[in-house]
Structure 1
């Protein structure tokens, strides 16, 4: 298989899995066992391609938040249902996004300073997929019961923002966890019973998180001189593929969760995790 074709496949895998709660990092690490290992910059850059797709999808929402911060009297849609909020409410929402990002940034720097390296064996990923599947089912059941008692809540609290930031750190440390799954279901457990509102917040906070991670890796490689060895053609192909497929994937997911729970993703994670444990050797 040519290097460009392998890069294309990795970009497609990243684009499909980054925002579905099934772990993009886990799928990439598994795929790279057959398609060849890639640099940290490659992996982070194709994640940034997926994040770019979210920027395009939520461009009006983001523009509304920017206008609220600079004091223009414009209203911004609060969630995919199109409910309008005041500029003051939009600013609070924006500050909660920044709070979640700050928690992630501080936690990420601490993890880097401690020298934590992502495990590259399949078995830990398989267990993370299985444990995450159970966690998803329990979290959604609890959120559904709370919604039945208290009604649907779209508000993102300050506590939720902090917990979402921490969840991003945990997902980054344990591949197979899934950043989107960790953040969405933490938000649901913390009191935001609306799947749409929890998903939107999880996706939006991923924008500064992944762009910052890309910039961090790029600066590190510039300092180490490793950037000269990067295959920019393959990275570009994967980046474009990731952006296009993520755009399609997120659009589909936002429609899907309007009338469906996340149970199908939990079943997929469970089946994949078990299959990896059964069919791959313990040393893989």
Structure 2
């Protein structure tokens, strides 16, 4: 893989990680078209995902510090705290630990990714149709039951192609949160979930990497970081106008491309 390909993959990752369109599906499709597959390709994808996660930490640094009591804002209510994040992460952590072997064995294939893209798109449509436009009460009005409910929906993202952000944003609006609040909470709970999963994958695959991989991996990491920051800001502005159905339609298009370029 050369630097140009790494930058292309970084752009795809940064654009899709926090949109409800499945970054996994896009990376598999892009990697296939670029001829970049195999164990090292999977490790590269993990590294650039960490670049996207860093973008959330930078954009929401005050919020993350406040979770640990290191930053205080004047509020007339308790606000979002670490318990919200923990209860939202517990379901997927437990399900992932129990079903890790089965997921790796049965769900990581192009066929299952296509199914995940389609079913995830259907969930977006259901959430959009079932939910009336809600007033943005903000993250600090999110309740513990809402956080836990979003966490249950996050379990759907264990299915490759389903999209973690698609599952959690859909779950958030179905639980009564506004589109913006659901999206921002999705971004925040992505940080511990993806750092844990990505860190473990990097440790396991460290032996297959060499010093010559560093410049290419760094190029992809930095590209994903910069693009993800821009994508998050743009997505939040776009979400209330477009809502979720256009993203569902886009997922169906990607599923068709998957079929044409990978499965045929």
TM-score (norm 1): 0.81
CA offset digits 1:60-111 (Å, max 9, x no partner): 22223332xx6x7x226xxxxxxx454x4333xx211112223222222223
Structure 1 residue 227, shift from structure 2 partner? 4.1
Structure 1 residue 215, shift from structure 2 partner? 1.6
1:90 aligns with one of 80, 83, 93: 80
CA offset digits 1:159-211 (Å, max 9, x no partner): 33233333333213x2221110100101111232x111111111100011111
Do 1:107 and 1:166's aligned partners in 2 also have CA atoms closer than 8 Å?
no
In the alignment, structure 1 residue 119 sits paired with structure 2 residue 101: no
In the alignment, structure 1 residue 188 sits paired with structure 2 residue 187: no
Q: Which whole-Å CA distance do the structure 2 matches of 1:54 and 1:281 have between them?
A: 32
1:235 aligns with one of 195, 214, 217: 217
Change (3 A) 1:115 1:266: closer
Q: Which whole-Å CA distance do the structure 2 matches of 1:256 and 1:66 have between them?
A: 30
Task: Report the counterpart of residue 244 of structure 1 in structure 2.
Answer: 226
Report the 3-state secondary structure (helix = DSSP H, G, I; strand = E; otherwise coil) of the residue aligned with 2:243: coil
Q: Which whole-Å CA distance do the structure 2 matches of 1:220 and 1:275 have between them?
A: 32
Change (3 A) 1:237 1:109: same
**Residue correspondence of structure 1 range 31-180 to structure 2 within 5 A:** 31-35=30-34, 36-37=36-37, 38-67=40-69, 74-75=72-73, 84-86=75-77, 88-91=78-81, 94-114=82-102, 116-117=104-105, 118-121=107-110, 123-144=111-132, 147=134, 155-172=141-158, 174-180=159-165
CA offset digits 1:219-242 (Å, max 9, x no partner): 2235xx334488222211110010
Report the 3-state secondary structure (helix = DSSP H, G, I; strand = E; otherwise coil) of the residue aligned with 2:21: coil
Do 1:130 and 1:274's aligned partners in 2 also have CA atoms closer than 8 Å?
no
Structure 1 residue 115, shift from structure 2 partner? 6.2
Report the 3-state secondary structure (helix = DSSP H, G, I; strand = E; otherwise coil) of the residue aligned with 1:191: coil
Change (3 A) 1:39 1:167: farther
Task: Report the counterpart of residue 8 of structure 2 in structure 1.
Answer: 9
Do 1:47 and 1:242's aligned partners in 2 also have CA atoms closer than 8 Å?
yes
Do 2:7 and 2:223's aligned partners in 1 also have CA atoms closer than 8 Å?
yes
Do 2:117 and 2:255's aligned partners in 1 also have CA atoms closer than 8 Å?
yes
In the alignment, structure 1 residue 221 sits paired with structure 2 residue 220: no
Aligned residues between the structures: 258
Report the 3-state secondary structure (helix = DSSP H, G, I; strand = E; otherwise coil) of the residue aligned with 2:68: helix
Do 1:40 and 1:217's aligned partners in 2 also have CA atoms closer than 8 Å?
no
More helix by share: 2
Task: Report the counterpart of residue 18 of structure 1 in structure 2.
Answer: 17
Q: Which whole-Å CA distance do the structure 2 matches of 1:248 and 1:232 have between them?
A: 25
Q: Which whole-Å CA distance do the structure 2 matches of 1:120 and 1:55 have between them?
A: 31
Structure 1 residue 156, shift from structure 2 partner? 2.8
**Unaligned runs of at least 5 residues, structure 1:** 77-83
